[in-house]
Structure 1
Amino acid sequence: MFMKFMRSANGRNAVRCSLRLVAIVLGVLFAVAGCGGGHPPSNSKAADPKAPPEAFPQDPTATFQGDWPSPGTEHDPADVVALGARLAYAYDQDDVGITAFRLDNGDVAWHTTAPEGGSVAQAPRLAGNTVIGAFATTKAGAGTYADRQGISVIAMEAGTGKTLWTREIATGSVSDSAAGAAVPHVVGADARHVLVASYEQGFSETPPLSALLDTRTGRVIWTDADFKGVDLEASVAVGVRDDGDLAGKSTSDGRQQWRRDLQLGEIRATDPGPGLTFADGTTAGGTLLIDAATGTTRLDSGDTSLLDCHYDGWDTTICAGADGSGNATVWAVDVHTSHVLWRLPDASTNRVAPGITSAWHGVVYAHADQALTLDTRTGKDLRTNIGVISPTMVNDGYGLIYDDSARVIDVYRAAEGSVSD
């Protein structure tokens, strides 16, 4: 039996109301960061002129729930679902596969089972009209041949769940070390490429394996058994080598384009927006924004620790963290120039740093004494009376909040306007 779901959250009891408050707090503490790959064009304002939502109702308009993998240590909701315009996509660990939920009512739009699929991690990725998932598989051996661990990568039509292609990638013998504990992640996907990385969480003696595939056909372009992919860009896949160095590999042929020893400890690398890779845990400086194409440092935060960044889909990424004294801070960075546009707090104007939950198309969603919105380019308050809901994921018509304690996603339809057809 696959994912259980609830069609509506209206009229829920006081316990669920308190959980919703917990979700808001979690959204402040663990805001959504970029997922890697699949960025819309940075000049997409003309192509997508619809204004982002600026307010949400107090009660969710739909809710869905399922047996999906636990999110990472930051409880990032993007580790649970991939958000489309009208559907959200998540793995199912019960009836192993991918399920698409309707944002308007929480119903299941489709569910596709992955044959022989085993362990999954984080969430599938959405690239245009294609949803891509990766599943750990085990092929039974015979005679003197041991079982083989592998990865099954599956591409599906986003609207129907129809399988477009399936690709099997062998990783190693289950009997070798802890190879069987490695779990594949779809690091990123765009119109041309899919980057998959298989690794074991935490310390492991088993080297990671990454594979780059063609999004349209599933053809394997290259594999690397000494590379943990963390970010996919148009021409470069960025990852961490087994020796701890950060490196960039060409998406066309897998050749190494650059390599840097950043004196990384427990590296935390993510995608803060197009052309940039976020790297933390360095002893060579503060949090770094790395040029994905060249490996050069575009921004060093110094004694400020930027915990995560929220790309707004256009030109700006909003990074939240703490300064050298441990006080909350927010930086807005232009993804093209890496210039810091504004910072909060600002003592000269008596403004504090709010908790950032998400950003979308020029709007920052945040929470201080209540939910509010800011302008991504100026930091100016837009609305300070949007209610109690500050979404941790947002698109043009909906805001989502992931309730980690209940493993539930509440969906809030934008209070103004509606989702266009």
Structure 2
Amino acid sequence: MRLTRASTCWASAAVVVLSALTGCGSNGSHGTHPKALPSVSPKPSEPSRPIHDPPATFATGHSVPLPEQAIAGRLTVGGTLNAPLPVALYKTTAFVATTTQMQAMDTATGRVTATVTPERTPVETGDGWNDTNHADAPLLATAHGTPTVIAPFVVKETGSGTQASHTVVEVTGTSADTGKAIWHLTLRLPEWATEADPEASAIGADNGIAVIRVSTSNDEHAAAYGIDLNGPRQVWSVDKFQASAVTGQTVAGALLEDDIGIDQRPAGFDLATGRRLWQGPLGKWVSADPAGPHQLRVHGKDYDNGSYDRLADPRSGRNLQTLPADLAGSTCTYDDQSTLICYGMGAASYVVYGLDPTTGKVAWQLPDKQADRIAPEITTAWHGRVYGTTDNGAVALDARTGKDLPSPRVAPLLVDESAGIVLGDSSLLAYPTSG
């Protein structure tokens, strides 16, 4: 496993976005699970597979590679990860997105069980000299009480007669259990999209509403759309808004106050209606991330008062707790249970903190010189367990206490009860859970 400290932020962002089943979005990176998806019993013909929640170990002798598109253009020359993964896990299936299709792969056998494509022609073909996969992770949500995979594609809507052609976003809804496309929904884009190369991402979902973000790669332009998954239908849109988090029935992110994406302010909108709930001070480098089922992490630079990094109430934007100064610029990952794991370069060294997302209180931190303990490089956290690496190999920590647990053998970037996705030598590997 080769993963630099800088690149762990990307890996975690992928986990935040990709593991969100009914809640907050994160690629990426990249989530919170305020509600569990309904359990679906396997078909009688399906073999029973062991599940472990959370996994303590992985069967290192039984790995299968993910499709090459899962890692295309996301590795540095040194073989480290430098962008979020376009992958979501659901039970024994890995959903791998590209700008032209989404594949469903069995993590136990490596067999591609389904392929979903948009009805129209994708704008980016994925062919040619630039083979980087620019897609973000699909979003796992619940629609009509059914686990559904949401994936947006930027496509061409061909004109006819006097009707002009347009670039639009086609959102697909796919059954997480069968891999079959259920519906397609078209989103019309703002005028700026006609002269740009927009990218589309599924940010998060809650209470049957999903948020799709459309933006340019340079962040000069962005728009957000609210999708009623039970329709499906578009229920609202907000231009000049870089949505980045869904939590507490709120979508939060950065309002773009100029035409070049520099002047920004944090803001939150009602998830059901798109109505603005609050906005913060004018500044730059603004971002909002989910920090549990009912909290936001809001950070950026206020032109009047300098940098800020805080936990906030999603409905009001009210400050709940200022994060420790050591965590400025760090990445935070909710373990989908009770603890917010934050990590990055502190004032003197790489640090890891375990926080109570409700109060912001520090439960534990590493390094701990008194206990002669170092800080591991975190890869992900899930259901009370934290995964990472040190020079001694793969490690696991108790998310509540920070205490060492037996080594999981590998350090997954994504994990569920059936498999862990691990960065190998220039490829992604799925390892079944074994304990």
TM range (shorter): 0.7 to 0.9
User: Is the CA contact 2:21–2:140 (under 8 Å) kept in the aligned structure 1?
Assistant: no
User: Is the CA contact 1:64–1:409 (under 8 Å) kept in the aligned structure 2?
Assistant: yes
2:415 paired with 1:394: yes
Q: Structure 1 residues 59 and 30 mapped into 2: Cα distance closer, same or farther (>3 Å)?
A: farther
* Structure 1 match to 2:211: 195
For residue 136 of structure 1, report the CA deviation from its aligned partner. 0.8
2:123 paired with 1:123: no
Counterpart CA distance in 2 for 1:72 and 1:66 is: 12
User: Is the CA contact 1:212–1:223 (under 8 Å) kept in the aligned structure 2?
Assistant: yes
Residue 413 of structure 1 aligns to which amino acid in structure 2? Answer: P
User: Is the CA contact 2:167–2:193 (under 8 Å) kept in the aligned structure 1?
Assistant: no
Q: Structure 1 residues 222 and 81 mapped into 2: Cα distance closer, same or farther (>3 Å)?
A: same
Task: Describe the superposition over 1:364-396 as per-residue Cα deviations: whole angstroms up to 9, x where unpaired.
Answer: 11212221111111111122x443x11111112
2:326 paired with 1:314: no
Alignment equivalent of 1:84, drawn from 82, 90, 97? 90
* Structure 1 match to 2:128: none
Counterpart CA distance in 2 for 1:172 and 1:72 is: 33
For residue 251 of structure 1, report the CA deviation from its aligned partner. 1.5
Task: Describe the superposition over 1:98-123 as per-residue Cα deviations: whole angstroms up to 9, x where unpaired.
Answer: 11111111111111221114246212
User: Is the CA contact 1:275–1:293 (under 8 Å) kept in the aligned structure 2?
Assistant: no
User: Is the CA contact 1:28–1:367 (under 8 Å) kept in the aligned structure 2?
Assistant: no
Aligned pairs for 1:2-401 within 5 A: 21-22=1-2, 28=8, 30-33=10-13, 34-35=16-17, 38-39=22-23, 51-68=53-70, 70=73, 75=81, 79-93=85-99, 96-118=100-122, 119=124, 121-128=135-142, 129-141=147-159, 146-173=164-191, 179-204=195-220, 207-243=221-257, 244-261=264-281, 263-265=283-285, 267-283=286-302, 284-304=306-326, 305-325=328-348, 327-368=349-390, 369-383=392-406, 385-387=407-409, 389-401=410-422
For residue 97 of structure 1, report the CA deviation from its aligned partner. 1.9
User: Is the CA contact 1:71–1:80 (under 8 Å) kept in the aligned structure 2?
Assistant: no
Tell me how large the CA RMSD over aligned residues is: 2.9
Residue 85 of structure 2 aligns to which amino acid in structure 1? Answer: D
Counterpart CA distance in 2 for 1:43 and 1:229 is: 21
Residue 99 of structure 1 aligns to which amino acid in structure 2? Answer: Q
5+ residue gaps, structure 1, are 1-20, 417-421
For residue 203 of structure 1, report the CA deviation from its aligned partner. 4.5
Worse overlay, 211-220 or 141-150: 141-150
- Percent identity of paired positions between Structure 1 and Structure 2: 24
Task: Describe the superposition over 1:298-334 as per-residue Cα deviations: whole angstroms up to 9, x where unpaired.
Answer: 3323532242122211111211012223x11111112
Q: Structure 1 residues 82 and 117 mapped into 2: Cα distance closer, same or farther (>3 Å)?
A: farther
Q: Structure 1 residues 285 and 42 mapped into 2: Cα distance closer, same or farther (>3 Å)?
A: same
Counterpart CA distance in 2 for 1:377 and 1:306 is: 23
For residue 252 of structure 1, report the CA deviation from its aligned partner. 2.1
For residue 23 of structure 1, report the CA deviation from its aligned partner. 5.5
For residue 249 of structure 1, report the CA deviation from its aligned partner. 0.7
For residue 262 of structure 1, report the CA deviation from its aligned partner. 5.8
User: Is the CA contact 2:226–2:272 (under 8 Å) kept in the aligned structure 1?
Assistant: no
Q: Structure 1 residues 333 and 42 mapped into 2: Cα distance closer, same or farther (>3 Å)?
A: farther
SS at match of 1:187: strand
Task: Describe the superposition over 1:20-72 as per-residue Cα deviations: whole angstroms up to 9, x where unpaired.
Answer: x335888756442311672465597xx9x954111223445211123357559
Counterpart CA distance in 1 for 2:60 and 2:347 is: 36
Counterpart CA distance in 1 for 2:5 and 2:67 is: 19
5+ residue gaps, structure 2, are 24-31, 40-50, 125-133, 258-263
Residue 373 of structure 1 aligns to which amino acid in structure 2? Answer: A
* Count of residues paired in the alignment: 381
Residue 38 of structure 1 aligns to which amino acid in structure 2? Answer: T
Q: Structure 1 residues 313 and 71 mapped into 2: Cα distance closer, same or farther (>3 Å)?
A: farther
